[in-house]
Amino acid sequence: MEIPSPVSATLKTPLQLSNQRLGWRLLLVSVFFAGFGFALVPLYDVICRLTGLNGRTNATAAVQSKNTQVDLTRWVNVEFLSHTMPGVGLEFKAEQFSLRVHPGEIIHTNYVVKNQSGEVFVGQAVPSVTPAVAAPYFQKIECFCFNQQTFQPGEIRTMPVVFYVDPDMSRDLGTVTLSYTFFEAPKAPV
């Protein structure tokens, strides 16, 4: 039996070197895609905010131009939807399912929330507009979605939404849907 010398034990065969290079390349690719995945979330958010993709509406109060005229020559049907995440214990609905509005007209409507649980609920409503191309033209002046909401057990609250549909919106869009989803706010670390 021949004992290998320490010099020959450290030499690697071409197959071992090839496998080692492949391992490093795979590690590099996985680190790149992990970083890309984390960067994609804020990038997507910026693109949605700039283009109105994904039906995102304004996250702060819009200021209506004093020169905006109400377009009495046409109507837009605005539908109101509401959703809550499963298990949050809220009953959440619009007072009206739909309204016919003239573009440029300031509209006041309400949503009603009831905390059916026995616990305090802190949440945030996230709005979206469909079709997505209408989102830049749907302007909220006042909305409960601008801030987190705190509901005491059994509390019923009427929350206003004041909005207008920009008269520059395409005449081909006859119906716009405003949808809110209520999410539970992340709990602060203790």
Chain segment 155-188, per-residue pLDDT in tens: 999 999 999 999 999 999 899 999 998 888 876 6
Contacts of 34 by beta carbon, 8 Å cutoff, 6+ apart: none
Q: Which amino acid is at 18?
A: S
**Alpha-carbon radius of gyration of the chain:** 27
Is a pLDDT exceeding 60 seen at residue 60?
Answer: no
Q: What is the average pLDDT score of the chain?
A: 82
The pLDDT value recorded for residue 88 is 80
- For residues 111 and 173, the answer to whether their CB atoms sit within 8 Å is no
The one-letter amino acid at 145: C
pTM of the complete model: 0.63
| pLDDT of 93 | 93
DSSP annotation of 120 reads -
Q: What is the pLDDT of residue 55?
A: 47
- Please give the pLDDT value at position 189: 59
* Contact call for residues 99 and 107 (beta carbons, < 8 A): yes
Note the pLDDT of residue 12: 81
Q: What residue type is 8 in one-letter code?
A: S
CA distance 149 to 59: 15
Q: Is 109's pLDDT higher than 90?
A: yes
Q: How many CB atoms lie within 10 A of CB 161?
A: 22
Identify whether the C-beta of residue 66 lies closer than 8 Å to the C-beta of residue 149.
no
pLDDT in tens, 14-25: 888 888 899 999
Domain boundaries, the chain: 14-51, 55-184
Class of domain 55-184 as given by CATH: mainly beta
Q: Does the pLDDT of residue 28 top 70, yes or no?
A: yes
